[in-house]
Amino acid sequence: MATTTIRQGPVLPAPSGRAGFGGTLRSEFTKIGSVRSTYWTLLMLFAVSVGIGAGISGLSANSWSNTPPADRTPFDATQISLAGLLVLGQLVIVVLGALVLSGEYSTGMIRTSLIAMPRRIVIYAAKAAAFTAVALVVSLVTAFTAFFLGQALLASTHQSATLAGPDVLRAVIGSALYITLCGLFAFAAAAIIRNSAATITAMIGLLFVLPVLVNWTPWHNDLVRWLPSSAARAISATVWNAGPQNAHLFFPWGQFAVLAACTAVVLVVGGILFLKRDA
Told to check if 199 binds other proteins by CB under 8 A, we report no
Told to check if 23 binds other proteins by CB under 8 A, we report yes
Residue 69's contacts (CB-CB under 8 Å, 6 or more residues apart) are none
Per-residue binder mask for other proteins (CB under 8 A), 119-148, x = binder: xx----------------------------
- Answer for which of 24, 90, 238, 263 binds other proteins (CB under 8 A) is 24
Label residue 85 exposed, middle or buried (CB < 10 Å: 0-12, 13-18, 19+). Answer: buried
Smallest distance, Å, CB 19 to other proteins? 5
* C-alpha distance from residue 98 to each of 23, 78, 231 (Å): 22, 29, 20
Smallest distance, Å, CB 112 to other proteins? 5
- How distant is the alpha carbon of residue 133 from its chain centre? 11
Helix (H) or strand (E) holding 9: none
Smallest distance, Å, CB 79 to other proteins? 37
- How distant is the alpha carbon of residue 77 from its chain centre? 22
Cα–Cα distance, 96 to 117 (Å, whole number): 23
Q: Which is nearer to other proteins, 31 or 170 (CB)?
A: 31
Q: Among 194, 29, 180, which Cα is nearest to 97's? A: 180
Told to check if 265 binds other proteins by CB under 8 A, we report no
Q: Which is nearer to other proteins, 8 or 66 (CB)?
A: 8
Helix (H) or strand (E) holding 55: helix 36-66
Per-residue binder mask for other proteins (CB under 8 A), 37-76, x = binder: x---------------------------------------
Cα–Cα distance, 85 to 139 (Å, whole number): 8
Residues 99-118 that bind other proteins (CB under 8 A): 103-104, 107-118
Cα–Cα distance, 191 to 272 (Å, whole number): 9
Told to check if 9 binds other proteins by CB under 8 A, we report no
Using CB under 8 A, which of the segments 14-22, 46-54, 159-167, 244-252 binds other proteins?
A: 14-22
Binding site for other proteins (CB under 8 A): 1-7, 11-13, 15, 17-19, 22-24, 26-28, 30-31, 34-37, 103-104, 107-120, 276, 278-279
